[in-house]
């Protein structure tokens, strides 16, 4: 995780410096805030990854001498065949159309969203299709 962490920390530092220079040179609020936000976007996950790198050391994909055979076994759970992303997408679609064409569409959109969120949670617990 080291390189990943360093990359993000580099972004944090870079935008920190650029942000400080920009702020004290221009006193422009919008850009200043956005650069600060970007710096945090680097520091937050970057420090998280750095912490985990220190704690767990090299994973198989960090070791340059790892063999494929060492990676045998369960990699992860990859949910397959789920209707809920589609339902959630349709719910979001109808909800934004509600904001444009009339709030009555909300009564179609929001239930779809809620159903999908419930469905996806239950599916994760139960396992669903693989």
Partner 1 sequence: MRRQEVAFTVTDVIAPARIETEEERPQLELPPQIPGHGSGEGHAGGHERHGPTGILKWLTSTDHKVIGLSYMITSLVMFYLAGIMALLIRLQLSSPHSSLLTFGQYNQLFTMHGSLMLYLFAGPFAFGGLANFIVPLQIGAPDMAFPRLNALSYWLYLTGSITMLIGFFVAGGAASFGWVAYAPLSSATSSPGAGGDLWIMAIALTGFSAIFTGVNLVGTIFYLRAPGMTMFRMPIFTWNMLVTAILILIAFPVLTSAMVMLFCDRHFGTHIFTAVGCHLVNGAATASCGSPLLWQNLFWFFGHPEVYILALPFFGIVTEVFPVFSRKPVFGYKGMVFATMAIAALSTGVWAHHMFTTGAVLLPFFSFLSLLIAVPTGIKFFNWIGTLWHGQLQFTAAMLFSIGFLFAFLMGGVTGIMLASPPIDFAVHDTYFVVAHFHQVLFGTAVFAGFAGVYYWYPKMFGRMLRESLGKWHFWLMFVGFWVTFMPQYVVGLLGMPRRVASYPSNLGWQSYNVVSTVGSFLIALSFLLLLVNFVVSWRNPIPAGDNPWDAHTLEWFTTSPPPHHNYTHLPPIRSERPTWDYNHPDALTVPHGKAAHPKKERVPVA
What is the binding site for partner 1 (CB under 8 A)?
Answer: 1, 3-4, 7-8, 10-11, 14-15, 18, 21-22, 25-31, 34-35, 38, 41, 49, 60-86, 88-90, 92-93, 96-97, 99-101, 120, 127-130
Q: What contacts 105, CB < 8 A, 6 or more positions away? A: 94, 95, 97, 98
Q: What minimum distance in Å lies between the beta carbon of 110 and partner 1?
A: 15
Which residue, 70 or 118, has its beta carbon nearer to partner 1? 70
Measured from the CB of residue 82, what is the shortest distance to partner 1 in angstroms? 5
Nearer to partner 1, 61 or 104 (CB): 61
Least CB distance to partner 1 at residue 128 (A):
8
Q: Count CA within 13 A, CB hemisphere, residue 113.
A: 12
Q: Which residue has the tokens 């397959």?
A: 80
Q: At what angle do helices 2-26 and 29-56 cross, to 10 degrees?
A: 160
Contact 93, 85 (CB under 8 A): no
Beta carbon nearer to partner 1, 99 or 114: 99
- Is residue 82 within 8 A of residue 120, CB to CB? The reply is yes
Cβ of residue 106: shortest distance to partner 1, in angstroms?
13
d(CA 45, CA 40): 9
Kindly tell me which of 72 and 104 has the beta carbon lying closer to partner 1: 72
């Amino acid at each position: 995780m080291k390189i990943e962490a360093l990359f993000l920390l580099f972004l944090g530092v870079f935008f920190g410096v650029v942000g400080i220079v920009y702020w004290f040179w221009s006193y422009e609020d919008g850009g200043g805030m956005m650069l600060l936000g970007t710096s945090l976007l680097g520091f937050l996950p970057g420090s998280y990854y750095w912490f985990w790198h220190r704690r767990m050391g090299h994973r198989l994909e960090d070791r340059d001498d790892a063999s494929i055979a060492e990676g045998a076994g369960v990699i992860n759970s990859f949910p397959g065949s789920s209707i809920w992303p589609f339902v959630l997408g349709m719910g979001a679609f109808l909800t934004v159309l509600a904001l444009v064409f009339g709030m009555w569409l909300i009564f179609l959109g929001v239930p779809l969203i809620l159903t999908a969120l419930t469905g996806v949670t239950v599916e994760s617990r139960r396992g669903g299709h693989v």
